[in-house]
């Protein structure tokens, strides 16, 4: 009987030690929050007024904007130590349309580890690996298709408006970005294509993610910058449609370097 008690005590001691050891190896529960982005559109420091001839670009063109539609993809948060997190577990491509309210705010479903992030980056448009024709079957994204003979896939942006042309009349412009073409002879012989998407990396006040909370930032498109720095874009020179004018689209890509900034809501 005494032997049995000793045996039981030894067994209980072993179980306790194993249990204590296992408890010591339990990892703490992950602390995660979420990120939400509000997309807003400014001109010269204030919210853009649509359908109003209130604006003049650096080329002297008096213009208005009717609508802006575009894609951003591969949104990534960066920490000061160089680590980053790509927000792509649910949807890595987001469509924004100034005429559709629900597209102008997007909360990512990704669980973002809490902490301080010092910058945010994204692709303006869609890169060539993802930009595949017919991947969007429903409107409004499907309406962004780029003609198959011009490279296929989808527009990166449609910025539509009007300007007062050289003879004093309102003329429509379609400031569109997508895949560009290199022509052997215009307009029928295409010898190559140019990918006009570009990366945006923004650093401002820290983006702080807190456990169980949603951090809100305001991503601002400064529309006037599409037409300035480093190139002064002139509607009278380029005309109303630039889809088959790679030189014009290249100016837009170059000017896109300072179109965006963000603030913390």
**Which pLDDT tens digit goes with each residue over 168-182?**
999 999 999 999 999
The pTM of the whole model exceeds 0.85: yes
Blockwise average pLDDT, block size 10, the chain, 265 residues: 51 51 58 96 97 97 98 96 89 95 95 95 97 96 96 98 97 98 84 96 95 96 97 97 96 97 94
Other Cβ atoms closer than 10 A to 230: 9
* Chain segment 174-203, per-residue pLDDT in tens: 999 999 999 987 767 899 999 999 999 999
């Amino acid at each position: 009987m005494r032997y049995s008690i000793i045996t039981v005590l030894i067994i209980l001691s072993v179980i306790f030690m194993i249990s204590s050891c296992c408890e010591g190896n339990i990892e703490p529960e992950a602390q995660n929050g979420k990120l939400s982005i509000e997309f807003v559109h400014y001109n010269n420091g204030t919210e853009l007024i649509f359908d109003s001839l209130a604006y003049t670009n650096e080329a002297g063109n008096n213009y208005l904007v009717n609508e802006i539609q575009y894609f951003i993809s591969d949104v990534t948060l960066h920490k000061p130590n160089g680590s980053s997190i790509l927000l792509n577990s649910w949807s890595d491509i987001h469509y924004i349309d100034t005429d559709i309210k629900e597209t102008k705010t997007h909360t990512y479903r990704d669980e973002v580890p809490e902490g301080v992030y010092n910058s945010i980056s994204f692709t303006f448009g869609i890169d060539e690996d993802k930009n595949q024709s017919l991947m969007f079957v429903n409107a409004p994204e499907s309406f962004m298709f780029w003609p198959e003979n011009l490279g296929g896939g989808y527009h990166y942006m449609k910025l539509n408006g009007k300007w007062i042309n050289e003879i004093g009349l309102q003329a429509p412009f379609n400031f569109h970005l997508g895949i560009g073409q290199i022509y052997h002879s215009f307009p029928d012989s295409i010898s190559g294509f140019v990918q006009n998407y570009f990366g945006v990396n923004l650093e401002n006040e820290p983006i702080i993610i807190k456990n169980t909370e949603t951090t809100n930032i305001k991503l601002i498109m400064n529309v006037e910058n599409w037409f300035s720095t480093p190139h002064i874009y002139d509607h009278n020179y380029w005309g109303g449609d630039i889809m088959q004018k790679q030189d014009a689209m290249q100016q837009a890509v170059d000017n896109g370097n300072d179109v965006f900034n963000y603030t913390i809501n």
